[in-house]
């Protein structure tokens, strides 16, 4: 079995996500045989450093033995049980641990399977919360350049045209408020001013503001100052509007703190988590919220105020076992603190990119680092050249247009960081 044979079999029957399938004629698919730590290996024996954590999900390495062990144990005990009317220990344990990581008013967990579904839960809950009190609020506010998922509700509050444009007639129309385009307090203050205008113009008609705290990942890895979160949150409280923190991509340590919103010292009304929650092993998502919100749905059934959302595999025990194992590793290995050194090391290592004539900006928030190129028209798809160069040299990067970024698993070692960065550097120099 080699790459070529598997690629042929793949293309016969598979339509890949987020892909123009014709691209695979010139940029061959890579069938992966196995993974270990930061490395993945294909069927031709090529080995790559997974510098993007397989779409930002992997935290502690591929086939992490500890997480694998816990999954295997759970599979033999209870693989799944309906989560309406029933429960199980892994999810009870997980919920308690997640709540312990949250500000004190966050006290309830509602589960789903993927990030899009979590965003849908938060939007529906916010909308329904007002309705349960006899208030009909029709709008959501989200940031320009935002990305919140692919299902129509989640996509409706997004603003990345590439994903959204074809479907615009199928969706709600959100109100977009300008996001700060730099990590600066001045910009944060200016953009919060714009947000307040929107709140003033739509009294009692906005359910929630939804944001990706600190880093808009799919949105060109745009980064902004925590002060914006602080100010936006204050405005939400002032105008009685929910604050939804979509931490699907940035949660679990990516921005340097366990959750990005912590850096603004705020308590969002809803926090959406997924991706890293299982260490990158299995799909699982959760929306955390307050007892106050929960309370507005808690009543006699006959009042018709129940939140009846469900997915068949909600709270899957195997995925919960992986999530508990992931939290074990965070605790035992003091991961957040240990990452600080790696963050600093990466910071120093990427300075040299500034000297390249085709680099516009190098930006970093915690374990996420982005290098923005300049001087290329979008249609040249310059990122693909970097992608190919890096693959040939043993590193999986997946640029977003002209943004090259690193979001590696936290188990990456110094020499692996060096390789990842040097290959990207040479790639950018070569184009």
Interface of this chain with a second copy, residues 50 to 109, rule: CB under 8 A? 52, 54-58, 62-64, 67-68, 71-72, 75-89, 91-92, 95-96, 98-99, 107-109
Among 113, 247, 269, 372, which residue sits at the site for a second copy (rule: CB under 8 A)?
A: 113
134 forms part of the interface with a second copy (CB under 8 A): no
**What interhelical angle do 335-349 and 414-430 show, nearest 10?**
30
The region of 153-161, 192-200, 341-349, 411-419 touching a second copy under the rule CB under 8 A is 153-161
281 forms part of the interface with a second copy (CB under 8 A): yes
Closest CB to a second copy among residues 167, 392: 167
The region of 197-205, 290-298, 349-357, 402-410 touching a second copy under the rule CB under 8 A is 290-298
What is the separation of C-alpha 21 from the centre of its chain, rounded to a whole number of angstroms?
24
User: In whole angstroms, how far apart are CA 277 and each of 93, 248, 334?
Assistant: 14, 9, 16
Shortest spacing between CB 38 and a second copy, in angstroms: 13
Contact 156, 171 (CB under 8 A): yes
Among 39, 307, 345, 376, which residue sits at the site for a second copy (rule: CB under 8 A)?
A: 307
1 forms part of the interface with a second copy (CB under 8 A): yes
Reference 253, options 146, 94, 101; nearest CA is 101
**Alpha-carbon span 286 to 258, nearest angstrom:** 16
Q: In 257-306, where does DSSP find H-type helix?
A: 291-295
Total of chain residues touching a second copy, rule CB under 8 A: 126
379 forms part of the interface with a second copy (CB under 8 A): yes
Closest CB to a second copy among residues 136, 186: 136
405 forms part of the interface with a second copy (CB under 8 A): no
340 forms part of the interface with a second copy (CB under 8 A): no
**Alpha-carbon span 414 to 395, nearest angstrom:** 15
Closest CB to a second copy among residues 110, 224: 110
**Alpha-carbon span 47 to 30, nearest angstrom:** 11
Reference 116, options 250, 283, 320, 291; nearest CA is 283
Give the x-and-dash track for 191-210 against a second copy (CB under 8 A).
Answer: --------------------
Among 4, 186, 190, 299, which residue sits at the site for a second copy (rule: CB under 8 A)?
A: 299
124 forms part of the interface with a second copy (CB under 8 A): yes
Residues 6 or more apart whose CB falls under 8 angstroms from that of 169 comprise: none
Closest CB to a second copy among residues 180, 219: 219
Give the x-and-dash track for 308-337 against a second copy (CB under 8 A).
Answer: xxxxxxxxx-xx------------------
**Alpha-carbon span 292 to 287, nearest angstrom:** 15
* Token couple for 35: 């993974």
Please name every residue paired with 111 in a beta bridge, in sequence order, or none if there are none: 286
Q: Which backbone phi and psi does 412 adopt, to 5 degrees? A: -60, 140
Shortest spacing between CB 160 and a second copy, in angstroms: 10
Dihedral sign computed on CA atoms, order 156, 143, 230, 217: positive
Give the x-and-dash track for 4-23 against a second copy (CB under 8 A).
Answer: --xx-xx-xxxxxxxxxxxx
């Amino acid at each position: 079995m080699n790459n070529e044979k598997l690629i042929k079999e793949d293309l016969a029957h598979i339509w890949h996500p987020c892909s123009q399938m014709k691209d695979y004629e010139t940029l061959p698919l890579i069938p992966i045989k196995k993974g270990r730590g930061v490395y993945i290996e294909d069927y031709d024996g090529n080995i790559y450093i997974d510098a993007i954590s397989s779409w930002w999900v992997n935290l502690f390495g591929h086939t992490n033995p500890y997480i694998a062990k816990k999954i295997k144990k759970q599979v033999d005990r209870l693989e799944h049980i309906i989560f309406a009317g029933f429960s199980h220990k892994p999810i009870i344990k997980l919920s308690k641990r997640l709540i312990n990581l949250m500000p004190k008013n966050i006290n309830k967990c509602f589960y789903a399977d993927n990030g899009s579904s979590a965003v849908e839960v938060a939007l529906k809950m916010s909308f329904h919360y007002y309705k349960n009190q006899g208030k009909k609020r029709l709008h959501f506010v989200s940031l320009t350049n935002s990305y919140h998922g692919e299902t129509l509700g989640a996509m409706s509050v997004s603003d990345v045209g590439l994903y959204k444009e074809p479907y615009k007639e199928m969706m709600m129309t959100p109100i977009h408020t300008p996001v700060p385009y730099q990590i600066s307090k001045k910009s944060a203050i200016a953009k919060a001013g714009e947000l307040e205008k929107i709140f003033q113009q739509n009294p009692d008609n906005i359910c929630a503001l939804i944001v990706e705290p600190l880093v808009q990942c799919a949105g060109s890895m745009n980064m902004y100052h925590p002060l914006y979160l602080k100010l936006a949150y204050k405005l939400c409280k002032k105008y009685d509007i929910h604050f939804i923190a979509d931490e699907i991509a940035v949660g679990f340590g990516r921005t340097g703190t366990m959750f990005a919103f912590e850096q603004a010292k705020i308590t969002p009304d809803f926090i959406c988590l997924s991706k890293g929650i299982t260490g990158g092993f299995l799909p699982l998502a959760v929306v955390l919220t307050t007892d106050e919100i929960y309370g507005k749905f808690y009543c006699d059934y006959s009042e018709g105020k129940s939140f009846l959302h469900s997915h068949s595999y909600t709270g899957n025990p195997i995925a919960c076992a992986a999530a508990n194992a992931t939290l074990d590793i965070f605790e035992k290995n003091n991961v957040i603190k240990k990452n600080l050194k790696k963050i600093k090391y990466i910071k120093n290592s990427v300075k040299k990119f500034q000297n390249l004539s085709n680099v516009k900006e190098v930006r970093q928030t915690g374990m996420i680092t982005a290098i923005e190129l300049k001087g290329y028209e979008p249609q040249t798809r310059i990122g693909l050249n970097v992608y190919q160069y890096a693959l040939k040299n043993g590193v999986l990067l997946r640029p977003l247009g002209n943004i090259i970024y690193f979001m590696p698993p936290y188990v990456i070692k110094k020499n692996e960081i060096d390789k990842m960065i040097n290959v990207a550097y040479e790639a950018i120099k070569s184009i």
